[in-house]
Amino acid sequence: MVEELERRYVSDEMKESYINYAMSVIIGRALPDVRDGLKPVHRRILWGMYQAGHTHEKSYSKSARSVGEVMGKYHPHGDQALYQTMVRMAQDFSLRYPLIDGQGNFGSIDGDPPAAMRYTESRLDRLSSHMLDDINKNTIDMIANFDDSETEPTVLPSRLPNLLLNGSDGIAVGMATKIPPHNLNEVAAAVRFHTEKVIEEDRKRSLDKAPKIDALEYMEYLKGPDFPTGATLYGIDGILDMYRTGQGRFHIRSDAEVRDDSSGKRIIITSIPYQVRKAGMLRGIADLVTKETIKGIRDIRDESSKEGIRVVIEVKNNADPHAILNQLYQSSRLQESYSANMMGILNGKPVQLDLSTILHTYMRHRESVIERRTQFELDKAEARAHILEGLMRAQKRMAEIIEVGRNSDSRDQFEGYLRGDEKYPKIKRFDFSQKQAKAIAERRLYQLTKLNVKEVEDELNKLKEAIKEFTAILDSRKLRLEILLEELENVVEKHGDERRTHIDPTPLSM
């Protein structure tokens, strides 16, 4: 039989295929999910290390082992690309709140490469445990991996508002994302403000629609980006535009101090802009001096250490250090422009994000996690309570149960008598459920005869209280949101820190 061929223009086929490819890159690689702030590769690394037991309370393991496990089970791509992603997740100058705890050479702010994965060791950072909390309690959807041999999460429960905390960078086909990192204390305060507004307005009719809150109101709590390398951010208008529209531009300038004392004239730099490599920046300054673009610099010394960045620029006696510093800001990478473009995946589609949408999406995600976790705990408590109720009832007819058990031909027949499928002669028919009958049949004789009724009764009473509490949470959105805020506050108490980036509201005149 000859198949009928479909006639198509090559241009139409190319267009459709390219769009499919572009969307695959956008969703599967380049843009983060708004809910947990992670791209698939980051999520797979965290999940793979968690599944393999490389958690913060365990000892370090070779990075090559983690890379191999993630690559073999979840992410069938090049090992070097995977390792470089893991390395960045461990660098405290790349992520505001690192998710991987690395031991060994994981690169430096100078741009030095990390040691090979066979030499370094890693495990999940303590902070990462909050990204994975309750993942085994049916809180998120799981999907099959690339060869259907394992399952992986579509999103992490993410007790942390990670998209704002660590930001994201990515280039897709026809679009890109560049979200700056923020401070945990401030983001938590903004989440609290947003959630309290939702509770106040009680938005039952449209849960997915964010309340109308202007970015200026959020900025009472969330001052602006907070970069791991510190420095000073200029231009509050650019921050406001970013929060309102998802796009904004501002400048980041190194923190520097001019000293003129008996030791001579010096410029001391103590921080540099985010994503600037210090060694490259200093080479650029040296080139400016060599080409005499900037005159008056006598020497450049890098005195940086584990305690922090310290670059000393010696200035000639006849030169003005303030003027030289201004020239350096204009001509070198001591000052950088940051163009934010907050793009992310929302409901399976790339979306330009404003601050309100990010906060509301995180809140709705956490509310869903809490609801599903509570339902899981409720089902578990009800199942256990059902068994205990059967044991309590069995205690009242223990002599009859023992007699039936002794005279049953098999365990299946014994359970059948307990379920009431068949009546045992001269004994009132039992009516235990299938699960209760199985639990009774599985207990040993001494456990049936010496059953601690008080202990079982106490456990049952505790379970009934828990069931009542779980039911109340499922019936009340306000309770769920209050739990969200309480859990976030616990994270802040453990991991919150001071802001590193100073914000100057005055924009720089270029």
Q: Is 176 in a helix, a strand, or coil?
A: strand
Q: DSSP letter for 306, please.
A: T
Average confidence (pLDDT) over 470-498:
95
Cα distance between residue 334 and residue 337, in whole Å: 10
| pLDDT score recorded for residue 402 | 86
pLDDT at 205 over 60: no
pLDDT at 215: 94
Tens of pLDDT, residue by residue over 114-146, are 999 999 999 999 999 999 999 999 999 999 999
Query: Is residue 67 scored above 80 in pLDDT?
Result: yes
Give the active site residue among 9, 60, 119, 234: 119
Would you place residue 445 in the very low, low, confident or very high pLDDT band (cuts 50, 70, 90)?
low
Average pLDDT over residues 176-199: 95
Whether 119 is a known active-site residue: answer yes
Q: What pLDDT score does 312 carry?
A: 95
Assign 3 a pLDDT band (cuts: 50, 70, 90).
Answer: low
Q: Per DSSP, which regions of 281-375 are E strands?
A: 297-302, 311-315, 335-341, 343-346, 349-352
pLDDT at position 244 over 70: yes
The percent of residues above 90 in pLDDT, for the chain, comes to 76
Segment 320-338 shows an average pLDDT of 94
**Closest listed residue to residue 26, CA positions, set 295, 348, 245:** 348
Tell me the CA distances in angstroms from 341 to 177, 239, 249, 273, 495, one per residue in order: 5, 11, 9, 18, 27
Using the predicted structure, report yes or no on whether residue 1 has a pLDDT greater than 60: no
The answer for 300, left when phi > 0, alpha when psi is -120 to 50, beta otherwise, is: beta
Q: Are strands 232-234 and 502-504 parallel, antiparallel or unpaired?
A: parallel
What are 370-400's pLDDT values in tens digits?
Answer: 999 999 999 999 999 999 999 889 888 888 9
Pairwise pLDDT comparison (157 vs 407), residue with the higher score: 157
The whole-number pLDDT of residue 30 equals 84
Does residue 128 contact residue 63 with C-beta atoms inside 8 Å?
A: no
